[in-house]
């Protein structure tokens, strides 16, 4: 009986030792996992702390920016408006001649047409282009051709003696003038002034039978009617321009001759 008890005790002790080793191993593994989790938690907290510092700095920078914009809003608005006006002006100005471009011409012509229709006043346009301009470019070169067009732009500016008058480069060597509140006689006087100014400059043009730079013009004044647009006015002025070209150039044509 005593031997049996000793045997059972040995088995129990062996089992306890085996289980104790397993428990110790499990505890060691759990401890390793806990140490790893603690280390990862510490790294995460460190990253979070750095992020909070960066966010705090960005918040501070943003507050400074907002404060600066608020304090200087009037100056910023004025500068923005100035730059916008410059860009808008450039977008409506012909870079070569310094006068209005086609975009500005179209906008202002429509505005003046509608205004004249409301007020019952006449509106005149002058369509013109340089005679034998291709010959001029072929003979003198494109740089000289550009200089010729720029000089013509100055001639047109001088012919527009009122702030409401608008000279514009319509495209290539073709130009136009908008003359609000101007009847046919007044528009004809402007065309005469252009011809005299050009004759006084006497820019050489060996590719022209006239020996100097000249222009052909179509000159037309009309009373706009409500509900219409200026397309017909332009088309008729353009037809007069081509009549002047067919009839020898260096002249202008009106509805009466």
**Residues with active-site annotation:** 173
Strand partners, 252: 217
- DSSP SS3 for 250: coil
Going by C-alpha positions, the residue among 224, 233, 245, 45 that lies closest to residue 126 is 233
Count CA atoms within 13 Å of residue 195 on its CB side: 16
Q: What's the per-residue H, E or C state across 90-143?
A: HHCECCCCCCECHHHHHHHHHHHHHHHHHHCCCEEEEEEEECCHHHHHHHHCHH
Query: Running DSSP on this structure, what letter comes out for residue 209?
Result: T
Pairing between β-strand 123-130 and β-strand 215-222 as defined by DSSP bridges:
antiparallel
Q: Is the separation of the CB atoms in 117 and 155 below 8 Å?
A: no
Return the ∠ at Cα 100 (arms to 94 and 104), rounded to 5°: 110
CA 51 to chain centre: 41
């Amino acid at each position: 009986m005593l031997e049996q008890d000793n045997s059972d005790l040995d088995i129990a002790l062996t089992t306890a030792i085996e289980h104790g080793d397993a428990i110790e191993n499990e505890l060691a593994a759990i401890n390793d996992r806990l140490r790893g989790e603690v280390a990862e938690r510490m790294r995460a907290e460190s990253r979070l702390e750095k992020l909070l510092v960066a966010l705090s700095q960005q918040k501070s920078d943003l507050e400074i920016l907002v404060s600066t914009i608020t304090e200087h809003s009037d100056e910023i608005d004025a500068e923005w408006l100035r730059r916008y006006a410059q860009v808008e002006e450039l977008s409506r100005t012909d870079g070569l001649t310094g006068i209005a471009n086609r975009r500005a011409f179209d906008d202002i012509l429509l505005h003046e047409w509608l205004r004249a229709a409301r007020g019952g006043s006449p509106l005149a346009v002058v369509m013109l282009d340089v005679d034998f301009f291709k010959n001029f470019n072929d003979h003198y070169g494109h740089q000289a051709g550009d200089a010729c067009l720029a000089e013509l732009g100055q001639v047109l500016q001088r012919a527009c003696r009122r702030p409401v008058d608008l000279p514009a480069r319509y495209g290539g060597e073709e130009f136009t003038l908008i003359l609000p509140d101007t009847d046919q006689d007044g528009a004809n006087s402007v065309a005469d002034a252009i011809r005299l100014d050009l004759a006084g400059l006497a820019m050489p043009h060996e590719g022209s039978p006239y020996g100097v730079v000249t222009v052909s013009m179509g000159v037309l004044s009309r009373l706009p009617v409500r509900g219409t647009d200026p397309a017909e006015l332009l088309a008729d002025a353009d037809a007069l321009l081509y009549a002047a070209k067919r009839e020898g150039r260096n002249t202008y044509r009106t509805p009466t001759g």
